[in-house]
Structure 1
Amino acid sequence: MSNRAGAAGLGIARVVAHCGGNLATALHYLTAAMASAPESPEPYTVLAELWRDKPADLAEIVRDADSWRAVLAHAYVSFLEGDMDAAALAIGSVTGAQPDIAWAKAPWFNEERFLGWVSAEALAEAAMRTMDYGHDLDTEAMRERFRPWFRAIDVVSFRRPAPEALAKMAILLRACGLTDASLALCNRADSVQRIMLTEVVRAGTWRKLGSLEQAAAAFERALALDPANWSLCLDLADVRAEQGDFLAAIRLTEHGMKFRPTEPTLRAATAAYRARLTGSPSDLNELIELAPHLPNGSYRDLLIDHACAGPALPAELVAEARRIQNS
């Protein structure tokens, strides 16, 4: 191992593991060694020895604890037990919590035994878990750490091209800045079966690339596949608003309200786009009343920006809306 601290920890783990010491303590040092050099096989060799010698005790520790160390050990123990789906989900969770460490460079994650048996659904869910904490993955350093994920996605998506799973995997590729690969994976999903989720993912990728018309077209196809989906109506309305077509945006939100008339976000968007198009004080008032109930602050502020740009709105009403943004 290249890292001296990790090597020292591995030595301590060996002593503790084989001299009747506390198993949890050995596991602590082993996982520290894995974090120090994820690609090194030595910590996994020691953990495999522990699993062979004390499988029940080790299983109890990794099952009952909720620390990243336990989840990391659970990933490899699941691999040893042949439960590749559980192994994928566990390493996905650890990666989401600490993406600055290249956990997937672990030797087992790159073995054909794993790549040949993990299900597309589990790998897709694991990929989603890597994004759980909202870390920025669109950097060269992150792409290097996530390279084993890209290979796994490539292998598994060809082995079992399940459309929904492929669409979820495409979200990770997009998050890592691999927009061309994300769109290609969506196309591969379409070749099996066209589903709404694929179009939504494709729309998000086109938006990231700055192509609003392509994004709108993808949302329209998604809506055609699921016409009663109010959330899709809102997504497409937001794109049309960004393009400056507030009449189309209003028609879309009003269509969505047929299916979810009490949804605060949908009602707020309708009011904002009406205020922007017509300069209606009553619509801006409605947006002001709904604003505290919107869960997404940045989206609330965007709606207020749109509404306050409406023609000839009373200055005091605009000021009241702006105060919400600053609160």
Structure 2
Amino acid sequence: MSNQSVAAGVSLARVMAHCGGSPVGAVKFLVGAIASAPAAPDPYAGLADLWRDRRSELEAGLEGDGSLSAVLAQAYFLFLKGDMDDAVMTLGSVTGARPDVPWGTAPWFGDARFLDAVSAEALAEACLRTLDYGHDLDTDEMRERFAPWFHTIDVVSERSPVPESLAAMARLPRACGRYELSFALCDRADTVDRVMWTAVARANTWMAMGDLDQAAAAFEDALTLDPANWSLYLDLADVRAEQGDFAAAVALVEQGLQHEPQELSLRAAGAAYRTRLSGSSDDLRALIAMAPELANTAYRDLLIDYACAGPGLPRNLLAKARRIRKN
């Protein structure tokens, strides 16, 4: 949006707020200007004026409004109130819904008052919210749009290196293909304390890069830090299966089952990997019975693919398993 268009939007908002008597309507004009030019300062100045002059009306009018315009305005109002944690989490929700807009270029997002006060825990939650909708962020355009987020992550993680929070933050740069930043956050966390979540974050970054050996080593490290965590055995089993070592995958699943014997995903993985290893019809039948209960359909389909590659399996069972995959 041109400077003239932004100015026109701000002018319309002022008319709406004062002559039209609708501060909520004015907010929509101002947010429209922000959406087109998130770095332009004038729309934020207009929101600040509304917050100062018509705060009670705004709070009443925006209460319960989950629209993008209302949520974005709330993020800035929370900043004005000094509630930096809720401000960043709210902006994270907006960014997750519309990552095609560089919301992070908002002047307040780089303000020293914000960077000095926002907690590592809140920034970590905000980073996770940016990923909620599963958009593809691994492009040059997205990396450019998220540059202010990377800067904020760097500043806050250096100021407050909470290991669990840094591990969560690492998911955003990893999703954007900024692997070096993801690893740097893990390394920074390790200088404070070695925790399981950091090792998992490092493992998942290696997975994203396609380095299965390094991913397996990182998951093994995570297991040394939390040896009773059943999900880590499954994570490592899945890596071994991808490497083609189904004997190791079976052994790892069995270890996980010692800690959580009723866990469906462990039981299904065990049946799939045993079927792939030995061509067990009984295990394939067990997988077929469990498959409809697996919530993650992509993982279900992967397990079925592994199982159906087992040796000497009856055609009728293979057909039954593949029908589940197609559905």
Q: TM-score, length-normalised on structure 2?
A: 0.97
Q: Report the equivalent of 1:322.
A: 322
Q: Kindly provide the amino acid, as one letter, of the partner of residue 26 in structure 1.
A: A
Separation of aligned partners in 1, 2:211 and 2:35: 40
Q: Kindly provide the amino acid, as one letter, of the partner of residue 132 in structure 1.
A: D
Separation of aligned partners in 2, 1:127 and 1:289: 37
Check conservation: 1:137, 1:175, Cα contact below 8 A: yes
Separation of aligned partners in 1, 2:61 and 2:156: 31
**Which ranges of 4 or more aligned residues in structure 1 deviate by more than 3 Å?**
3-7
Q: Report the equivalent of 1:208.
A: 208
Q: Report the equivalent of 2:155.
A: 155
Q: Deviations over 1:131-165 (max 9, x none)?
A: 11000111111111111001100111111111111
Check conservation: 1:61, 1:70, Cα contact below 8 A: no
Separation of aligned partners in 2, 1:47 and 1:101: 19
Check conservation: 1:13, 1:30, Cα contact below 8 A: yes
Q: Deviations over 1:181-204 (max 9, x none)?
A: 111110111111111111111111
Query: In the superposition, relative to structure 1, how do residues 63 and 192 fare at CA in structure 2: closer, same or farther (>3 Å)?
Result: farther
Give the aligned length.
Answer: 327
Three-state SS of the structure 1 residue aligned to 2:259 is coil
Q: What's the CA shift for 1:9?
A: 2.5
Q: What's the CA shift for 1:325?
A: 1.2
2:26 aligned with 1:39:
no
Q: Kindly provide the amino acid, as one letter, of the partner of residue 258 in structure 1.
A: Q
Q: TM-score, length-normalised on structure 1?
A: 0.97
Three-state SS of the structure 2 residue aligned to 1:261 is coil
CA RMSD of aligned residues (A): 1.3
Q: Kindly provide the amino acid, as one letter, of the partner of residue 300 in structure 1.
A: R
Separation of aligned partners in 1, 2:64 and 2:5: 28
Q: Report the equivalent of 2:126.
A: 126
Q: Report the equivalent of 2:227.
A: 227
Separation of aligned partners in 1, 2:315 and 2:259: 34
Q: Kindly provide the amino acid, as one letter, of the partner of residue 71 in structure 1.
A: V
Separation of aligned partners in 1, 2:236 and 2:11: 57
Q: Report the equivalent of 1:179.
A: 179
Please list, as runs of the form range in 1=range in 2, the aligned pairs for 1:229-248 lying within 5 A after superposition: 229-248=229-248
Check conservation: 2:123, 2:153, Cα contact below 8 A: yes
Separation of aligned partners in 2, 1:190 and 1:89: 25
Q: Percent identity?
A: 61
Q: Kindly provide the amino acid, as one letter, of the partner of residue 89 in structure 1.
A: M
Q: Deviations over 1:44-90 (max 9, x none)?
A: 10111111112222223334311111111111111111111111011
Q: Report the equivalent of 1:194.
A: 194
Q: Kindly provide the amino acid, as one letter, of the partner of residue 106 in structure 1.
A: A
